[in-house]
Structure 1
Amino acid sequence: MTQSYEYVLSEAPFIVRRTVRWGDCDPAGVVYTGRFPDYLLGALALFKDHIVGGSGESLGKQHGVGLPCRGMTFDFAGTLWPNDIVDLECYVGELRTRSFDFHCEGRRPGGDSIFSARFSPICVHAHVRESTDIPASLRATLMRYVRVQTTR
């Protein structure tokens, strides 16, 4: 039997469930801070695949742009240990002219907050690597997943 450490739990809201692996943790048994970007990026990869309808095509490519990282932030409220379960709820936040925010709220299944994260891609012309406005088609797609971030 193969165990999945990360899978889509719900599509509305979009939630990825992840099990903490022993290798994610330091000798004291706490998840390394540096593993949290992996958790975020893994959940967002599944979210973006959901947004494009599971086509296998990247979100940016589908709309004719590259989407490199402009910024990433984390705010921690708890810790995780081996075999803990964390639910990662993903949604779109603010849409600006050339960039936008993906948000991810990491919580225990009972609702206790572990972390809040934001990943902000910027739209670029892939062939010249310079920023460009969010294409209208991408903006319309993202608008279907926008939610105002709540404060703790």
Structure 2
Amino acid sequence: MNESSEIVVSDLPFTVRRTARWADCDPAGVVFAGRYTDYLLGAVMHFMRRIGYGTNGQAGRESGVGLPCKHMRLTFHASLYPEDVVDIRIEVGEIRTHTFDLIARACLLDGRLAFEGQFTPIAIRGDVRESTSIPAALCEALQPYRLAKEAA
């Protein structure tokens, strides 16, 4: 069997489906807390690629702007076990001058919340490694994914 443990299942809302693997678990069969970070980062990277700003993304190369992590947080709501499937929805929260928030909600297929997270990248000029304004094209690419309460 050659199934992926992570695939994009929806563009709007942007959703990544992740299946917990035995390799993610401790000997008791519970997913390690540190693997939740991998789940969040995997979904964020899929999102960034989708809008053209992932690793080696055309838009990112053209703008000369990199987007490393400035802040990240996770809140755990449920343990995960091998073969558990979570849908990780990524939405855009606040967009500021140099940073913006990607908000994640991961739900089991029965609707229970497994974890919530936030990933906040900062726009930097790659040539000098200092903060810069978020490119207008990136702000535009983020707009369709804004949280309803944030977009109003």
Common fold by TM > 0.5: yes
The answer to whether 1:82 aligns with 2:82 is yes
Partners of 2:91 and 2:147 within 8 A in 1: yes
Structure with bigger helix share is 2
Percentage identity across aligned positions?
46
**Displacement of 1:59 after TM fit?**
5.4
Label 1:71 to 1:52 Cα distance change in 2 as closer, same or farther (>3 A): same
The 2-side partners of 1:84 and 1:114 are apart by 10
* Secondary structure of the corresponding residue to residue 30 of structure 1: coil
| 1:49-74 deviation digits (Å, cap 9, x = unpaired) | 222299x6265334330101101000
**Count of residues paired in the alignment:** 149
* Secondary structure of the corresponding residue to residue 144 of structure 1: helix
**Residue 40 (structure 1) aligns with:** 40
Normalised to the residue count of structure 2, the TM-score between the two structures is: 0.89
**Residue 15 (structure 2) aligns with:** 15
**Displacement of 1:31 after TM fit?**
0.7
Label 1:7 to 1:132 Cα distance change in 2 as closer, same or farther (>3 A): same
The structure 1 segments of at least 4 consecutive aligned residues displaced by more than 2 Å after TM superposition are: 58-64
* Root mean square deviation, CA, Å: 2.0
Normalised to the residue count of structure 1, the TM-score between the two structures is: 0.89
The 2-side partners of 1:74 and 1:121 are apart by 15
The 1-side partners of 2:142 and 2:64 are apart by 14
Unaligned runs of 5+ in 1: none
The answer to whether 1:120 aligns with 2:120 is yes
